[in-house]
Amino acid sequence: QKEVEQDPGPLGVPEGAIVSLNCTYSNSAFQYFMWYRQYSRKGPELLMYTYSSGNKEDGRFTAQVDKSSKYISLFIRDSQPSDSATYLCAMSADTGGFKTIFGAGTRLFVKA
């Protein structure tokens, strides 16, 4: 079993939809949780960074962490075609990016 599980998709939604992306994990030591967005031929770009459980909102993006269930989510409101990309969840037990473990990434397509 992988430490971090993420459905690779693809996930297709119409423009304006609310998108829900999820990851589960097995290592209870993870405390730092991240979401990255990766466009084709580009490196991953940090979207959200959270510590421990709870919610964090940034514009159209909301990250949720439920440590009791070992489950994290990223919600995208009012999705746009420009949101079409691969979304990677990532987590680590220590700060400083030390041994960050990534999910497989979910390919998202937002159709105009």
Partner 1 sequence: KAGVTQTPRYLIKTRGQQVTLSCSPISGHRSVSWYQQTPGQGLQFLFEYFSETQRNKGNFPGRFSGRQFSNSRSEMNVSTLELGDSALYLCASTRTGENSPLHFGNGTRLTVT
Q: What is the dihedral of CA 27, 32, 37, 42, to 10 degrees?
A: -90
Task: Give the interface segment with partner 1, choosing from 9-17, 54-62, 70-78, 92-100 (CB under 8 A).
Answer: 92-100
Minimum distance of partner 1 from residue 38's CB (angstroms): 9
Minimum distance of partner 1 from residue 92's CB (angstroms): 8
Site for partner 1 in 18-57 (CB under 8 A): 32, 34, 36, 41-46, 49, 51
Q: Per residue in 54-64, is it b (16+ CB within 10 Å) or e — as a string?
A: eeeeeeebbbb
Q: Examine residue 105 and tell whether it contacts partner 1 (CB under 8 A).
A: yes
Task: Return left, alpha or beta for 8; rule: phi > 0 is left, psi -120 to 50 is alpha, else beta.
Answer: alpha
User: For binding to partner 1 (CB under 8 A), which residues are involved?
Assistant: 32, 34, 36, 41-46, 49, 51, 88, 90, 95-105
